[in-house]
């Protein structure tokens, strides 16, 4: 076949490739663009995205360099330091240098400067509690400059929360700790910080501040901290309690009355020891508290309390006179933070009715126990019979009330139904609830 003008026709100019839209409505534009780029090239991809109203995304702006706390300190740039919300990435040494720079101002600190200093302390990488003790002079300089630093830090509170529970410290006892710490002189506070830093476990820390909250002088708390420093947590629970607050079986051994009518004095001792671990250690250090005649100092104290009410101590198994011991409960108000008032309850045979006196008493008692407050009670063998002091240690929704009976020297679980049915014996020595001591917190009203 002849060819026109003896030449082949030149190829037409390149046209954009025809592409289809994504087949699935679920495909993202980014995924589609990547697929298109592989098949049609960059030029076609840009053209299609433009027709779809999509612009090529701009390049992300370059990240601003992180501020250097050390450099700002070197420049004495206080404004630059307080303008940053957090210095979590800085070293503790840099934070302290920044604090020194800010508080070195001869003039009064602004609120913003105070907040910045507090944040620098709170950001300490090795923990505020440790830094507070290691650099106590700097810490007090900040306090003197009006920086709102708290002696009892969040770190301290968290450690205490971890071990708050039976046989260590109750919720109510833990709440008394910050106020006790704030009452210390600066020298005493420095000693406490050292004791807490040297403690080997957070359980040791808890017992140290529990003793402080019980009204103990710091010099005695310091000696106590030395005495327990190398003891295991199990040893602490065994020797700094006189009742079983967490028995694994139905009953657990505990402090026992040594005289025929010393159930009241023994309950006083139990209340004292469970609030004050230094006193508990004195009791357990005097001999076996769970047996009769094995702990002479404990027996002597029970007899002394009876004599204080005009009763003559008599040996177990012989006739004797007891005593109402609310005055002794209330002599412990520094240790317990509580004053108690005797409140009689008349049970009804054969079964106490709903909304009756016993039912209403249990509702109140349950509330106090949930706060971590111990409740002394009196039980007897019939309605209105006031025969025997016990102390309720805590409440558990499944098991009921854990009650320590000094006559038998053990703690046992008693359910609500058992109390309502006048059927507490066993595990207790008597069957009926005859009354309880109403607690009142000794809290000063804040002005």
Tens of pLDDT, residues 294-318: 999 999 999 999 999 999 999 999 9
pLDDT class of 124 with cuts at 50, 70, 90: confident
Q: Look at residue 225 and tell me whether its pLDDT is greater than 50.
A: yes
Task: Pull the structure tokens for residue 68.
Answer: 């250097």
End-to-end CA distance of the chain: 115
Contact yes or no for 185/217 (Cβ under 8 A): no
Mean pLDDT of 338-353: 96
Q: Look at residue 242 and tell me whether its pLDDT is greater than 90.
A: yes
Task: Pull the structure tokens for residue 171.
Answer: 């919720």
Task: Pull the structure tokens for residue 354.
Answer: 């709903």
What are the distances in angstroms from CA 163 to CA 170, 181, 204? 9, 19, 10
pLDDT of residue 154: 86
CA dihedral 201, 204, 210, 216 (to 10 degrees): -140
Q: Look at residue 430 and tell me whether its pLDDT is greater than 60.
A: yes
Stated as kind and residue range, the H or E segment containing 411 is strand 410-414
Contact yes or no for 303/259 (Cβ under 8 A): yes
* Mode of pairing for the β-strands spanning 388-396 and 410-414: unpaired
Give the bridge partners for 401, in sequence order: 395, 414
Q: Look at residue 11 and tell me whether its pLDDT is greater than 60.
A: no
- Alpha carbon 17 to chain centroid, angstroms: 70
Strand spans (E) along 97-180: none
Return the number of other C-beta atoms located less than 10 Å from residue 205's C-beta: 23
pLDDT of residue 6: 37
pLDDT of residue 41: 56
Of the listed ranges 169-173, 244-248, 251-255, the one predicted with least confidence: 244-248
Whole-number mean pLDDT of the chain? 86
Question: Which part of the chain is CATH 3.90.70?
Answer: 251-441
pLDDT of residue 48: 52
pLDDT of residue 249: 66
pLDDT of residue 297: 97
Of the listed ranges 21-30, 221-230, 342-351, the one predicted with least confidence: 21-30
Please give the Cα distance from 362 to 327 (Å, whole number): 24
pLDDT of residue 12: 41
**Fold for domain 251-441?**
Cathepsin B; Chain A (3.90.70)
């Amino acid at each position: 076949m002849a060819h026109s003008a003896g030449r082949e026709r030149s190829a037409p100019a390149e046209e954009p490739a025809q592409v289809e839209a994504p087949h699935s409505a679920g495909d993202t534009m980014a995924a589609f663009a990547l697929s298109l780029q592989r098949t049609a090239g960059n030029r076609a991809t840009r053209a299609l995205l433009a027709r779809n109203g999509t612009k090529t995304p701009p390049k992300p702006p370059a990240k601003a360099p992180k501020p250097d706390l050390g450099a700002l300190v070197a420049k004495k740039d206080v404004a630059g330091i307080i303008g940053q919300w957090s210095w979590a990435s800085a070293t503790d040494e840099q934070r302290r240098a920044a604090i020194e720079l800010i508080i070195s101002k001869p003039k009064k600190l602004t609120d913003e400067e105070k907040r910045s200093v507090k944040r620098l302390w709170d950001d300490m990488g090795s923990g505020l509690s440790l830094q507070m003790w290691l650099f106590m002079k700097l810490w007090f300089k900040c306090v003197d400059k009006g920086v709102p630093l708290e002696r009892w830090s969040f770190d301290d509170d968290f450690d205490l929360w971890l071990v708050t529970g039976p046989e260590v410290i109750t919720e109510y006892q833990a709440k008394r700790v910050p106020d006790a710490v704030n009452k210390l002189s600066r020298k005493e506070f420095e000693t406490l910080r050292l004791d807490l830093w040297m403690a080997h476990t957070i359980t040791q820390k808890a017992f140290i501040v529990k003793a402080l909250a019980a009204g103990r002088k710091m010099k005695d708390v310091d000696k106590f901290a030395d005495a327990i420093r190398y003891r295991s947590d199990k040893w602490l629970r065994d020797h700094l309690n006189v009742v079983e607050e967490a028995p694994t079986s139905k009953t657990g051994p505990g402090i026992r009355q040594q005289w025929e009518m010393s159930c009241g004095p023994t309950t006083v001792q139990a209340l004292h020891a469970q609030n004050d671990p230094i006193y508990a250690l004195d009791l357990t250090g005097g001999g076996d508290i769970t047996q009769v005649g094995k702990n002479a100092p404990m027996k002597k104290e029970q007899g002394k309390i009876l004599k204080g009410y005009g009763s003559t101590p008599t040996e177990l198994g012989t006739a004797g006179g007891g005593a109402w011991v609310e005055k002794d409960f209330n002599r412990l108000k520094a240790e317990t933070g509580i004053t108690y008032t005797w409140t009689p309850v008349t049970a009804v045979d054969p079964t106490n009715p709903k909304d009756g006196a016993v039912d209403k008493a249990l509702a109140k008692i349950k509330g106090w126990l949930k706060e971590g407050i111990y409740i002394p009670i009196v039980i007897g063998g019939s309605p209105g019979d006031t025969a025997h002091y016990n102390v309720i240690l805590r409440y558990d929704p499944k098991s009921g009330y854990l009650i320590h009976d000094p006559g038998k020297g053990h703690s046992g679980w008693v359910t609500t139904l058992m109390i309502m049915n006048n059927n507490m014996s066993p595990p207790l020595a008597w069957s009926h609830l005859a009354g309880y001591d109403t607690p009142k917190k000794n809290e000063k009203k804040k002005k």
